[in-house]
């Protein structure tokens, strides 16, 4: 079932070392799906194209290439105005303490009994939209995002693409996750938390989304065999998330324990993204030369 949502646990690969020029241009332009590669330390590069000539490649260009097949409309700016992304939001603020309204799932999804993937901190939504478009009949996708303008833009794109298996909610996951998944008619098969706000200062660590209450709610509502995928380009954040989920080893197993073919480094971090598409932050971070720290857990059956 998890594979039907886009998570293919047996199809990992380790990308070989490659010239950044070839990775950024040839592979991106030919497949539009850039798999994780060894990070490089160049902030830009150039490639030659017969049609456009030499062009400097920056990380936003790679994001556009990775999600090019979505063909998202530019008219969004006219509908909603400029969507400025506020990078840091305090989820403990009283303005985010009201639980999100539980939607009528029959109105949100064409078939509300399908397996559900929840992406906590869905950002722009492109990542989840790509998965939903790729798997239109096998699963539903719910994005929870605390920045309301991003939710409105993502919902605009969903309507524009006429997708009936994806929905975005303006919600504080810490407050709303439990009631949302508890009311969902189908099974919760996959939860992803990808590059959450690091809240670097120690006094702000309590603002981090992965806290014991949320972890407990995720585990208790996952069906047996359901999975949790974690990812961050900040080691301290990755270790924080890992410690929270490792502590539930009586209920969760890391994928490496279940399938030794899954490539991990010596510290137990997955070497590749199993979802078939990189998140926007993942693309930016790898472009800047950062390592991505990943963990994938499965609930014991």
Q: Which of 197, 233, 267, 272 is catalytic?
A: 197
**CB 24: neighbour CB atoms within 10 A?**
26
Is 69 designated active site?
A: no
CB 195 within 8 A of CB 280: no
| Cα(15)–Cα(32) distance, integer angstroms | 16
Catalytic residue ranges: 197
């Amino acid at each position: 079932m998890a594979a039907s949502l886009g998570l293919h646990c047996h199809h990992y690969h380790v990308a070989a070392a490659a010239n950044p020029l070839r990775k950024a241009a040839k592979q991106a332009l030919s497949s539009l799906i850039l798999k994780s590669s060894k990070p490089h330390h160049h902030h830009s590069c150039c490639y030659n194209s017969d049609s456009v000539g030499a062009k400097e490649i920056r990380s936003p260009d790679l994001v556009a290439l990775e999600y090019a097949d979505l063909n998202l409309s530019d008219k969004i700016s006219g509908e909603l105005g400029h969507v400025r992304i506020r990078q840091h939001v305090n989820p403990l603020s009283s303005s985010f303490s009201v639980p999100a309204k539980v939607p009528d799932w029959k109105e949100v999804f064409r078939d509300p009994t399908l397996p559900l993937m929840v992406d906590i901190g869905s950002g722009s939504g492109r990542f989840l939209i790509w998965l939903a478009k790729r798997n239109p009949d096998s699963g539903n996708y719910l994005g929870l995002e605390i920045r309301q303008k991003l939710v409105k833009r993502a919902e605009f794109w969903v309507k524009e693409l006429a997708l009936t298996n994806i929905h975005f909610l303006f919600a504080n996951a810490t407050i709303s996750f439990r009631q949302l998944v508890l009311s969902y008619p189908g099974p919760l098969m996959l939860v992803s938390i990808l590059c959450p706000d690091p809240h670097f200062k120690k006094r702000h660590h309590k603002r981090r989304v992965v806290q014991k209450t949320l972890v407990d709610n995720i585990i208790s509502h996952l069906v047996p065999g359901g999975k949790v995928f974690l990812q961050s380009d900040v080691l301290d954040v990755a270790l924080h998330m890992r410690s929270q989920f490792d502590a539930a080893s009586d209920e969760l197993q890391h994928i490496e324990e279940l399938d030794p073919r899954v490539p991990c480094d010596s510290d137990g971090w997955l070497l590749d993204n199993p979802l078939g598409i990189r998140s926007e932050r993942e693309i930016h971070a790898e472009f800047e030369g950062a390592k991505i720290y990943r963990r994938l857990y499965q609930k014991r059956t």
